[in-house]
């Protein structure tokens, strides 16, 4: 939540959980759950859940690159009056790059794209670049910049592209 001269300009909350299981040296499966609240993009609640497969494309001491494909099911509740909730399956692809700058600092770059399997004109793309610094073994703080694009916003008047400067608390297990 952010205000400028008393006027609300940002109202966004994003959370995600992913549990991974390694199948072979580089191949893994996962189950992911996400939740987004983003008033200015038209969503009271946007929940997704689904399985996926991933591969460690690059695994080095200081760098890693993961590719992931998943089938997520979305539950969208809109912030605008008169719009009915929507549920739909999607196909999602993601690339996650990480560069260990020092023992306590990491650069991360995540690119995701998903398309509705019911309406291929409905797609979303997100690019997120961030810097994370460890506070302890389990906690880190981060700053980042995100560009999010939705090809078919829930209603007219909602911008297709949203840019956000982020601060975050990261919990690593």
Under 8 Å between Cβ of 47 and 34: yes
pLDDT for 12: 80
Token output for 13: 């909350």
- Say what the pLDDT of residue 11 is: 73
In angstroms, the CA 72 to CA 16 distance is 13
Q: Cα separations (Å) of 62 from 18, 97, 99, 102?
A: 22, 11, 6, 9
Give the integer Cα–Cα distance in Å for 14 and 150: 16
3-state secondary structure of 41: helix
User: What pLDDT does residue 2 have?
Assistant: 55
pLDDT at 9: 61
Domain boundaries, the chain: 2-171
CATH of domain 2-171: 2.40.128.100
Q: Running DSSP on this structure, what letter comes out for residue 96?
A: E
Q: What is the pTM of this model?
A: 0.83
**Contact status, residue 112 vs residue 92, Cβ threshold 8 Å:** yes
CA distance 26 to 21: 11
Average pLDDT per 10 consecutive residues for the chain, totaling 173 residues: 63 88 96 90 90 97 97 90 89 98 95 96 96 90 94 87 87 77
| Residue 4: predicted pLDDT | 60
Determine the pLDDT at residue 8. 66
> Where are the extended beta strands (E) located within the chain?
2-4, 7-10, 12-22, 27-38, 43-59, 63-78, 86-100, 105-116, 123-134, 139-150, 161-171
Q: Is the C-alpha dihedral spanning 82, 88, 90, 96 positive or negative? A: positive
């Amino acid at each position: 939540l952010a205000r400028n001269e008393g006027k609300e300009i940002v109202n966004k909350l994003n959370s995600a959980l992913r549990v991974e299981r390694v199948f072979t040296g580089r191949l893994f499966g996962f189950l992911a759950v996400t939740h987004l609240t983003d008033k200015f993009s038209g969503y009271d609640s946007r929940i997704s859940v689904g399985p996926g497969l991933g591969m460690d494309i690059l695994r080095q001491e200081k760098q890693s690159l993961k590719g992931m494909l998943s089938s997520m099911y979305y539950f969208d509740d809109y912030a605008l009056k008169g719009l009915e909730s929507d549920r739909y399956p999607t196909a999602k692809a993601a690339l996650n790059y990480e560069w260990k700058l020092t023992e306590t600092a990491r650069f991360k770059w995540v690119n995701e794209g998903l398309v509705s399997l019911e309406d291929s004109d409905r797609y979303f793309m997100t690019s997120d670049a961030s810097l994370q610094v460890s506070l302890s073994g389990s906690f880190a703080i981060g700053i980042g910049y995100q560009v999010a694009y939705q090809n078919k916003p829930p209603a007219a008047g909602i911008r297709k592209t949203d840019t956000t400067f982020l601060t975050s608390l990261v919990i690593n297990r």
